[in-house]
Structure 1
């Protein structure tokens, strides 16, 4: 019964969990660290805003599920695989397409890394998986360096980034705008930092008129100018900070080109294979929420990809909970029961039996944040 099935998506920054009868995950736990302005007190996790959190058990997920919680059965997989259990055709506003595509490329850009994972017939193509060592945590670092050392203010800097940053469609033009004086600079934003005594939420300060002045004696303000777009630009040009890696659009092309017909037991044309991937790209993860992110990927791919390929890039309404939603869909499918490992199997054969739950994804289950779907104790 679905009300006994727990779907949990364990990310590096958030944990999404809820039972199968729900439409959205009830629990989104932010891994927060912040420090008050006055007493310099450090707030960690739910001390900043109380919410449900999993016990801090320093053991594997398999042991937690079967030994600590005594779940009856268990399925572990990677978040991108759960993403494609959704109806991805709805992401492209294509009313003529209803069948589940044979080839899907998932771009998962989250807190720790950015992964590009191609799937063929619901299985990840392991040799074609690519990782870019850039995520939210690194983007936060480059905001920190400009004004104050706020490396221990994870939660605050994420709020700043999410409120102010965007992906530029005209990088050089935006840089020129940032060089103008304050009155003519449409990009400059003043972000008032929280002090955690009167308020725990920062905000962008808006002036009622250009001549109005503010009393800043009791406020800490971050002036976000070119940081608004130069920080997300690292996702597209890691070489700007000395990293010897390509940006997301280039790595997408590299990943697609690495999928070769001889990898499969069935006959397939290489051009057709690549065309399917370019027309079925799904963007998930927190970085997908940057304004202009999807448009920039489409723009850059149109330059890099062969001209006769259609470029279709889809982004769900909530790219952070999309994997959880896919897990919620998966538990209604007939193959769900076939993939479960039962508690009796675990007790008889030990922890290695859980490896079968990640069958097509076994080699990458520790490369990417993974998810679990489990039946509650009876």
Structure 2
């Protein structure tokens, strides 16, 4: 029997409690603004009607609980998320996950980069050893014999990483600040790819990675997460595939997908990546991405309480085969 699964990613844009300062240059929400924002987010969640949703820019998990209480379909959903470190130098938004499917024990976030990874930045004494924002990992039980690893991420933005060198009379410093951001985003991507590779060695199961990558699918950081240039090792293909590109029901006549507008450019920087189990060309396939949808009409109206990101919804159709313990594809059957 076939079964449809729906996964979504949603950058809600600065969800914080009223009266709480979340960025130094932002005025805290009033009670009325908070009510409008939480109500709007709740409406979007119900419109998605997804089984599992990854969220970004969550400054308060209590605020997210307020959102869920306003929904029709997620009041009793599983909620996985951790508040930012109150002892940190500055408040940093976290990610979260809500699921109408059972969440198995052991959900966690990764703050430190794996495998003792450390990357130096220009003009910075200490190397980067942590993710810009923690990566969330949870294992979702879809069927008694099928579970899926889900990762929610929010990689470093393109906002220049200025330190103490922002001087108008030295324009090259802007380039250095932009380079720092690029390196940090690449470091986030490398760390996430390492988490995925480590996981495949220990617990082979389908994987879905979703979130705000702050870059397009062809960008090197995104390709790093996907496993650019990697090939099956010992019969295991641990690459990921952009769901948009492998969907079976893509209609170019209504291809209006984008999730962000910057300087007049329409870009898709929010992605849902899937492992070979959901690639129709793989012998390990147990299902396929049938459709990817972008909910972005709100970006035209630019309401103060709305997000500046579009929402991404992926529909996956299972073919009725078990996935845990499935034989990975052989090298000559690897999807391209």
More strand by share: 2
Shorter-normalised TM range: 0.3 to 0.5
Q: Which has the higher helix share?
A: 1
TM-score, length basis structure 1: 0.30
Which of structures 1 and 2 has the bigger CA Rg? Answer: 1
